[in-house]
Amino acid sequence: MRAQPLQKSRVNRYRIAAIPGDGIGNEVIPAGVEVLQALATKESFGVEFETLDWSSRRYLETGAYIPDGGLEKLKTFDAIFFGAVGSPEVPDHISLWGLRLPICQGFDQYANVRPARVLPGIASPLGASGKDIDWVIIRENTEGEYSGSGGRVHRGLPEEIATETSVFTRVGVERVHRFAFELARQRPRRQLTLVTKSNAQRHGMVLWDEIFYEVAAKYPDVKTDRVLVDAVTTRMVLKPATLDTIVASNLHADILSDLAAALSGSLGIAPTANLNPERRFPSMFEPIHGSAFDIAGQGIANPVATFWTASMMLEHLGEPKAASRLMRAIEAVTAEGVHTPDLGGVHDTKAVTRAVLRSLGS
C-alpha cells in the first residue's frame, strides 16, 4: 500500500504572551487562559501561552518591569494578553511608564478600541434606557496628553514649575480618525461622533477637528457629528441612543470609557484592545479595570472583562467564529445571574469561569 502523503495541518496556531501583571490581573488572566485553551480544542485552533512575570513585584526586586531585551522578545508573539499594572508600593506614574506605555507606544498600538454594552442579566444605573448603550469608543493611544512631554524644574522651591505638554501630530490624528471611520462603517448605524475640546484647547484640538472633516470627506456613507467632551458626558447619561461610535484623544477617551463602563453595569466587564492595525507589531488585549488592590487575593474579581477581551483577541487573530462563540457563552452566563460582587452577585471568579466553560460545552 502506498503511503499517504502527509496532510499539511490547516490548524492555525497562535503564540500568546500572557502578562498578568499586578493585583487581580493574576486572578483574571489565568481564568482567561483556561477558557481560551478550552475553546481552542472545540474550535480547532492551537494556542500556546507563555506567561511573563513583568509586574511591580519584579520592579521592586530587580529595578525593572521589563527585563533587558524583553520588548524584542515580546515582538515575536501573535498577541499580548495583559492583566493590569499598578501597586500600592510603586507610584502610579512609575508603574504606568514602566510597563504599559512602553508596550502601547513602542508597538505603535495607536487604536484603542473600547466597546460598551449592557450584557444580558446586568443592570445599568440608567435603568431601562441602559439597553440603548451600544457604543464603541476609539481612543488615540500613543500621543496627545500621554506623550510624556514636559518636565519639572526648581523642585520644592516656591518658584517650582511643571509642564505637561500634549503632543498631537498630523500623522497620529489622521490615522486614528481613519481607523474610526473604517470601524464606524462596519457598524449598522454608521455613525461617528468626534469628541474634542476645541473651544478651550485651541491648537491640538482644533487640529483634531480639521483633520476629522478632511478624513470624513472620504467616508460619505458615515454620518458624523461633533460634541465637546464635557457635553458628551451628559449625552451619554441622558440620551445614550444618540451615540454609536466615538473617537477622542487619549485622555478624553480614557475618562469617557470609565463612564461608559459604569453605565454598562460595572468596570468589571469592560474590555479593551490596543491595536496596531497594520500588524507590524503584536496588539495587546486587556480588561480596563486595573489591578484593584482593594479586592486582590480574595478570588472575587470579575473575569468577564478578560473573557470579553479574549473574544476581541480572537477576532483580531482571525478566528471570528470562536470569538462569537465565546461572546455567546459569556452572555449566557451573565443572563443566568452568575455574577461577582461588583455586579451585586455572590459568585467568585472560579464560579463564573466554570459557568463560562460549561456554557462553551466543556
| 108 part of the active site | no
| 258 part of the active site | yes
CB of 82 to ligand IPM, least distance (A): 10
Please tell me the distance from the alpha carbon of residue 149 to that of residue 204, in angstroms, as a whole number: 14
| 197 part of the active site | yes
Segment near Mg ion (CB under 5 A), from 146-154, 200-208, 247-255, 313-321? Answer: 247-255
Cell 456554557 maps to which residue?
359
CB of 271 to Mg ion, least distance (A): 13
Active-site annotation holder among 146, 244, 342, 348:
146
Residue 86 or 204: the one with the smaller Cβ distance to ligand IPM is 86
- How distant, in Å, are the alpha carbons of 52, 115, 122, 123 from that of 335? 34, 19, 7, 11
Residue 142 or 311: the one with the smaller Cβ distance to ligand IPM is 142
Active-site annotation holder among 73, 209, 223, 258:
258
Q: Which does 43 bind (CB under 5 to 8 A by kind): Mg ion, ligand IPM, none?
A: none
Please tell me the distance from the alpha carbon of residue 86 to that of residue 50, in angstroms, as a whole number: 21
- Other residues' Cβ atoms within 10 Å of the Cβ of residue 111: 24
Q: Which does 290 bind (CB under 5 to 8 A by kind): Mg ion, ligand IPM, none?
A: ligand IPM
Residues that bind ligand IPM (CB under 6 A): 86, 96, 254, 288, 290
Please tell me the distance from the alpha carbon of residue 191 to that of residue 6, in angstroms, as a whole number: 50
CB of 234 to Mg ion, least distance (A): 20
Q: Is 254 in the site for Mg ion (CB under 5 A)?
A: yes
Please tell me the distance from the alpha carbon of residue 251 to that of residue 257, in angstroms, as a whole number: 10
For 6, phi then psi, to 5°, come to: -60, 125
Handedness of CA 299, 311, 136, 129 (dihedral sign): negative
Q: Which does 96 bind (CB under 5 to 8 A by kind): Mg ion, ligand IPM, none?
A: ligand IPM
CA terminus-to-terminus distance, the chain: 39
Per residue, the 3-state secondary structure of 68-83, as one string, reads CCHHHHHCCCCEEEEE
CB of 325 to ligand IPM, least distance (A): 27
Q: Which residues carry out catalysis?
A: 146, 197, 230, 254, 258
Binding interface with Mg ion (CB under 5 A)? 254
